[in-house]
Every structure is written in structure tokens, then in C-alpha cells.
Structure 1
Amino acid sequence: MYATIIACMVSVMLVYFYTQLLEDKGYKPCPGVPSGYMPMMGTKYVTSLSLCKT
């Protein structure tokens, strides 16, 4: 039971910190479909919004 709770908390914290790391490196969330994207990510990040296709 405790392992499940800890696993959920760790996964939420990991997503938050990884998102912050991407944004600190200059990546921006793409509102459309990017021409290339990082698989397994819920939000597609790009270095320039010109790479997004709407």
C-alpha cells in the first residue's frame, strides 16, 4: 500500500522537475503538432515555436 503511494508521489515529482528542466534549457510547449518531437511525452516541446505545425 505504501509503495503505491510513494510510487505515485515520485512519478508526479519527476514529471514536474523534468518539465522545469526542459523549460530552463529553453524548450517551449508546442500548442500544435511539432515537426519532430520527443516520444513518450504528453506535451511536445520545441526550441522554437516556428517548428510547430498548427
Structure 2
Amino acid sequence: MPTSPRPPTGRPLTRTAAGELPARVYAVVSLDQAADAHRATAEGGLRGRYIICP
């Protein structure tokens, strides 16, 4: 079965910075909190993404 071509989406970060894609941030955490953020994401129910900063 042939696959249909996907439309070009552009680079997500560039599109988000340009305001073309929404960016919902739940929390900004340090690298030592990454495991806790991962667990919380796996549990579900979050509205947004974790941003992990070194």
C-alpha cells in the first residue's frame, strides 16, 4: 500500500517562535528534577510540557 506524502511542517521550534504553533509550558525544572518531571508526565493529566534546563 503506497503512503501518502506528508505536507512540509517546517521546523517546530522556528514555527513556535514565530507564533505559528502554541507553546504551553507546565513548568521549568532543573536537570536534577528531570526524573520527577518524567514521572509526572507519565501519570498524565498535565496541560503543557516540562522544560528541562541544565
* Higher relative contact order (Cα pairs below 8 Å, separated by 6+ residues): 2
TM-score for both structures, normalised by structure 2: 0.26
Q: Which has the higher strand share?
A: 2
Q: Which has the higher helix share?
A: 1
